[in-house]
A and B are shown apart, each in its own frame.
Chain A
């Protein structure tokens, strides 16, 4: 069954306050043109086959260009973190109130230069943000180890946890282990992680061709992969 959305529902997560509502980040990708995006939701118990726009308060919709998202409870409040590719890349933080998203704060590449090229993120219970980022775009970074995992802690201090990744994409933390997909190498990397510290080097947990975003399933991690990167690149170039 197809559920109609705004174009490019690239990342999808569950609303932590209901666990039955899917939140999605949608960005219409156009070459050499200004992009536009939406944050939408879909109730999995619904008989409808279309997603709905969130009502976004206190943040201009026209600036929004969402990419990786993560939703969790912070201090008992359902909170959505959104990577948004604007004039400079940002992480936007919204409180989720049913069908509304209330803007709370932002982290900008102006203050955290390594946020430029951010792709996906994961947020710990204490509000520590972990994000993947790459120096170049997906279509120009091929062959280089320019990917990294950065951390912004609750005191707003930044540090690089992992670098030299071959296009760092999806990220997930579970049971004291941090997982990152490397799209170009086709590796799911695993690192022991505790108290904001990584034990290097990591190991290759699995081979996942063209690994993209990661979510949690009862028996493990659900990971999307692109089986033919050449065709993926071609699509990126022909989309108008």
Chain B
């Protein structure tokens, strides 16, 4: 069982929402947090035992 997720950026000035990462649940499932550090996005998840670095 996999749970698809998306990491979006809400641009406060423009009010636009831009998708920065999306998974059908295969690469990461139930992604719960996106954290931007340098040039990378780190994604946490609810169930499995790893962070994804994109």
Contact = CB atoms under 8 A, between A and B. Distances in A.
Nearest to A51: B51
Contacts of A8: 45-49
Interface string B14-54: 01010010100100011111111110111111111111110
Contacts of A217: 9, 36
A234 interface: yes
Contacts, number: 162
Nearest to A229: B3
Interface in A184-240: 188, 205-210, 212-213, 215, 217-228, 231-232, 234-236, 238-239
A2 B52 contact: yes
A3 interface: yes
Interface of A: 1-14, 19-20, 22, 24, 29, 42, 44, 51, 174-175, 177, 179, 188, 205-210, 212-213, 215, 217-228, 231-232, 234-236, 238-239
Given A3-B51, A207-B17, A222-B34, 15 more contacts: A2-B50, A3-B52, A5-B50, A5-B51, A8-B45, A8-B49, A9-B49, A10-B33, A208-B10, A215-B33, A218-B36, A220-B13, A223-B7, A228-B3, A235-B29
